[in-house]
C-alpha cells in the first residue's frame, strides 16, 4: 500500500493520530526534503528510512517507490507541508499506481487553501489555481473576468506584482490574504486587489471574492424601485421590505425616503 499522508502546514500538532500511526508502520517514507521532514518525524519519535522525492526527481524516483510495491511493502509519500499532489509531487506516482493496479490511499489532513477559504468566510463554489504562471499569456488563458471565488498561493516576493495583475484582470475585488497559516504569527487581512502590502517575509494564500453582483433595480431611484414592486401587486409594507433587502439598508430608511415624496 502507498499512503499519501498530509503533514502539518505549520503547527506540528496539526497531524492526525492515523497519520502518525501510518508513518510509524511503513517500510519507508518518500519526502520532498529529508532534512525538513526529519524535524516532524523526530518530533513524533518516528525512525524510518527517508528517500528524496520532489518535483525535480519525481520521474527518476518512481522506480524506487514501485520496487517497494513489487515486494509487498508499505510506503508513505509526504510533502514538506500539507497534502501531496496539491502543488507538490505525487500525481505522477498516482497515475503509475493506477496503471499497475497497486493499492494506494490518502491519509487526510491539512491543506493550506482549504484553511484559507474557511477563514475568508466567502461562499462556495471556488476554484483553486495554485501559483500564477510566470508568463502573462498563460495567466490570461487561465483567468477572465467571469471567474468566481479564486484561490492562489503567493510568494512574498511576488505578492504585490500578483495583486496588480489580478486587479487588472478581475477588477478591484474584495480579497482575503492569509499569512503563516497555523503558525504563531498567523494573520487574516481583508483588502482589495488594488491595495499594496509591505510584507518582506511569510507564506501567503490569497482568496479573491467573486465580483459583486449589482441588482439592476438598485440603479433606479428608491421611489421607482418601490413602484416596481407595487405595480407587480405587492402590498406596500412588503414592497418596502423588498426594496430594503435589495439595497441592503434598514426598511425604516426606505420608509423615510418614500414619505418625503
Question: Which CATH number covers residue 120?
Answer: 3.30.950.10
**Digit-coded pLDDT (tens) for 106-142:** 999 989 999 999 999 999 999 999 999 999 999 999 9
Q: Name 192's bridge partners.
A: 174
What CA–CA distance (Å, rounded) separates 259 from 261? 5
Residue 7 banded pLDDT, cuts 50, 70, 90? very high
Q: Name 30's bridge partners.
A: 51, 77
Judge if 122 and 191 occupy the same domain: yes
Judge if 18 and 81 occupy the same domain: yes
Among 89, 110, 131, identify where a domain stops. Answer: 110
Judge if 138 and 223 occupy the same domain: no
Domain extent for 134? 113-208
**Digit-coded pLDDT (tens) for 42-74:** 999 999 999 999 888 888 889 999 999 999 999
Q: How far apart are the first and last CA of the chain?
A: 75
If we measure between CA atoms, which residue out of 62, 84, 58 comes closest to residue 5? 84
- Please compute Rg for the chain using Cα positions: 25
Judge if 12 and 99 occupy the same domain: yes
Do the beta carbons of residue 188 and residue 176 sit within 8 Å?
A: yes
Judge if 57 and 125 occupy the same domain: no
Judge if 173 and 192 occupy the same domain: yes
Question: Which CATH number covers residue 41?
Answer: 3.40.1010.10
Judge if 88 and 9 occupy the same domain: yes
Judge if 123 and 150 occupy the same domain: yes
Helices 91-100 and 58-70: angle between axes, nearest 10 degrees: 40
Return mean pLDDT, the chain. 90
**Digit-coded pLDDT (tens) for 146-197:** 788 999 999 999 999 999 999 999 989 999 999 999 998 899 999 999 999 9
Is the pTM higher than 0.85? no
Cell representation of residue 183: 503558525
Judge if 75 and 38 occupy the same domain: yes
Judge if 85 and 122 occupy the same domain: no
Among 110, 139, 159, identify where a domain stops. Answer: 110
Q: Which residue has the higher pLDDT, 218 or 254?
A: 254
Judge if 37 and 93 occupy the same domain: yes
Q: Is the pLDDT of residue 259 over 70?
A: no
Judge if 11 and 105 occupy the same domain: yes
> How many domains are there within the chain?
3
Amino acid at each position: 500500500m502507498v499512503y499519501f499522508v498530509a503533514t502539518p502546514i505549520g503547527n506540528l500538532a496539526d497531524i492526525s493520530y492515523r497519520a502518525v500511526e501510518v508513518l510509524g508502520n511503513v517500510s519507508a517514507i518518500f519526502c520532498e526534503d529529508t532534512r525538513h521532514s526529519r524535524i516532524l518525524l523526530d518530533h513524533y519519535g518516528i525512525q524510518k528510512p527517508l528517500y528524496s522525492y520532489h518535483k525535480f526527481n519525481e520521474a527518476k524516483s518512481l522506480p524506487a517507490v514501485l520496487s517497494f510495491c513489487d515486494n509487498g511493502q508499505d510506503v508513505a509519500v509526504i510533502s514538506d507541508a500539507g497534502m501531496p499532489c496539491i502543488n507538490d509531487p505525487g500525481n505522477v506516482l498516482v497515475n503509475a499506481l493506477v496503471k499497475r493496479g497497486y493499492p494506494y490511499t490518502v491519509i487526510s489532513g491539512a491543506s493550506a487553501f482549504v484553511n484559507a477559504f474557511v477563514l475568508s468566510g466567502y461562499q462556495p463554489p471556488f476554484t483553486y489555481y495554485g501559483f500564477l504562471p510566470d508568463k502573462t499569456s498563460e495567466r490570461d488563458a487561465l483567468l477572465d473576468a467571469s471567474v468566481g471565488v479564486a484561490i492562489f498561493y503567493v510568494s512574498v516576493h511576488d505578492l504585490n506584482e500578483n495583486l496588480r495583475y489580478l486587479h487588472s484582470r478581475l477588477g478591484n475585488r474584495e480579497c482575503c490574504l492569509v499569512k503563516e497559516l497555523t503558525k504563531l504569527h498567523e494573520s487574516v487581512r481583508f483588502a482589495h486587489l488594488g491595495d499594496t502590502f509591505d510584507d518582506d517575509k511569510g507564506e501567503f494564500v490569497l482568496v479573491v471574492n467573486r465580483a459583486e453582483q449589482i441588482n439592476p433595480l438598485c440603479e433606479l431611484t428608491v421611489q421607482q424601485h418601490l413602484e416596481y414592486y407595487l405595480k407587480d401587486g405587492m402590498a406596500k409594507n412588503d414592497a418596502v421590505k423588498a426594496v430594503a433587502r435589495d439595497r441592503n439598508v434598514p426598511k425604516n430608511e426606505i420608509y423615510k425616503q418614500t414619505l418625503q415624496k
